[in-house]
Structure 1
């Protein structure tokens, strides 16, 4: 099968991000033609002039549509695409020069109708962006489920770096109307229809995540709230590990109460864990500030996801 790639990028009020992403796509070492589709999801800050800058460097298609959310916008893009394999990227990523070459190489060696790739922190990222990336990708925080070969279980691709064949899109109809977890929902439906997914470990992107700590909390809360809904929609998909952030938050709360009456032993455990995070992030990032912020972002992730999961589980279990 000869692969022809269409890169689908939904965007909402992010012209500067599109500029950076298109610049990185224009620098690909890929020798085969590919097309890039920019789908403006009802933006008030349009990207049309940015797209115009790259018309002589890339094969581009630009669409403007009424706001309908990221999932429907990705589906719209795939409907307009002419390639037989779609690569879906978020607007806040940068793509290494070898990205498309790596995707093609792996798919030609071991074809699957869907794939996911990991994310990484670019050297130009801020300390907070690097710390958020650490919290989202470290084995110590997420178990490496977002792109580490040693992660337990089948890999569930994420929409910031997601590949899907034209055939799989035609059968699954793409992303559902879920606002959170729509990529995991699509993965489950791919498996139900007999399609295989795989992790392309070397097909990573640099994920900028332009977030503050409060925004990161809000995002992880939404991720946590979405998981019980997915568990209910797909019985049998639930895992005990999804409870870990909630148990972590309940445990640290209980430890603080015990410390108030003189029992500090449980808090020592959490202190040791935070020390491990600091040392691991310091080893990976070679930066003390990033390592310190990694403690804050890791706690924020546990707090957001854990509380979101608990709230959703309590209020939706009887629906």
Structure 2
């Protein structure tokens, strides 16, 4: 089967991000034809003028629709696409020049009806963005589930860098109405329909993510609230490791209370962990500032995800 790529990009009030992403798509070392569909999800700050700038460089289609969320916008784009393999990208990514070539090679070597790719920090990113990227991708923080092939048995693609065949989209009906965790939900439904997924390690994107600690906290909190719902909907996929951030923050708070009463020796375990994390981030990023910020972004990630998980599991469960 000849692969015909359609790139689907939902956007909401982020024209500057679309500008950077489309520019990176014009630089692909890819000889095959591909189309790009921009789905404007009811934005007030439209990207249409930015899209017009690239009409002569890309096979580009622009659609404006009422606001319905990213999942529905992705489905809308796949319904309008003419290709037979859809590539879903978030608007806050930049793709390296070999991105499409890496996908084509990966699928030709091992075809699957869905794939995911890792994310990385571009050299132009801020120190905070690099620290957030470390916290979201490091083996010491997430177990490497977002892109370390040797650490996972079945890869769960994420919506910022997600590929799915037209056949699989038709069978599964694409993304659900979930606001958070909709990509994991789709992956589980793909598996239920016997479709295989894979990680294409070389098909990475530069993911800018959130630009502030508070925004990052909100994002991870929302991720945490989604997981208990997914565990309940797909009980066979539930893992004890999903409890780790909640247990981590609960024991940290308990140990801080004990330390107040003179029993702070258990805090040394946390100090050792964060020292190892600091060193690992420094070795990866070659920056003391990024390594220092990585400690705070990891704490933010654990508190956000852990609190969201606990609230969803206990409060929403009983409401």
**What is the TM-score when the length of structure 2 is the normalising length?**
0.99
CA RMSD of aligned residues (A): 0.8
Deviations 1:128-157 (A, max 9, x none): 000000000000000000010122331100
**2:210/2:216 contact within 8 Å kept:** no
Further displaced range: 254-263 or 157-166: 254-263
* Structure-2 separation of matches of 1:94 and 1:46: 19
Q: Aligned pair 1:26/2:55, yes or no?
A: no
Alignment of 1:7-46 (within 5 A): 7-46=7-46
- For residue 304 of structure 2, what is the aligned residue in structure 1? 304
What is the correspondence of 1:197-208 to structure 2 with a 5 Å cutoff? 197-208=197-208
Match of 2:125 in 1: 125
**CA drift at 1:318:** 4.5
Question: Residue 277 of structure 2 aligns with which residue?
Answer: 277
Structure 1: gaps (5+ residues):
none
How far apart are the structure 1 equivalents of 2:38 and 2:101? 21
Q: Where in structure 1 do 4 or more consecutive aligned residues deviate above 3 Å?
A: 316-319
Taking the aligned partners of 1:301 and 1:151, their CA distance within structure 2 comes to 20
Q: By how many angstroms is 1:315 displaced? A: 1.9
**In structure 2, how many angstroms separate the alpha carbons of the residues matched to 1:65 and 1:212?**
29
Report the CA distance shift for 1:87/1:112 in structure 2 as closer, same or farther (over 3 A): same
Looking at structure 2, the residues matched to 65 and 24 of structure 1 have their Cα atoms a distance apart, in angstroms, of: 25
Partner of 2:169: 169
The answer to whether the 8 A contact 1:6-1:85 is kept is yes
Q: Select between 40-49 and 152-161 the one with higher mean Cα deviation.
A: 152-161
Instruction: Please give the per-residue CA displacement for 1:40-71, whole angstroms capped at 9, x wherever unaligned.
Output: 00001111110111111100000000000000
Unaligned runs of 5+ residues in structure 2 are: none
**Following the alignment from structure 1 to structure 2, what is the Cα–Cα distance between the partners of residues 4 and 286?**
39
Give, in angstroms, the shift of residue 316 of structure 1. 3.2
> In structure 2, what is the Cα distance between the partners aligned to 1:62 and 1:153?
38
Give the secondary-structure state (helix, strand or coil) at the position aligned to 1:317: helix
Quick check: 1:84–1:165 contact (8 Å CA) kept in 2? Answer: yes
Structure 2 match to 1:195: 195
Greater CA drift, 264-273 or 22-31: 264-273
The match for 2:216 is 216
Correspondence for 1:263: 263
Q: May I ask how many residue pairs the two structures share in their alignment?
A: 319
Partner of 1:61: 61
**TM-score where L is the length of structure 1:** 0.99
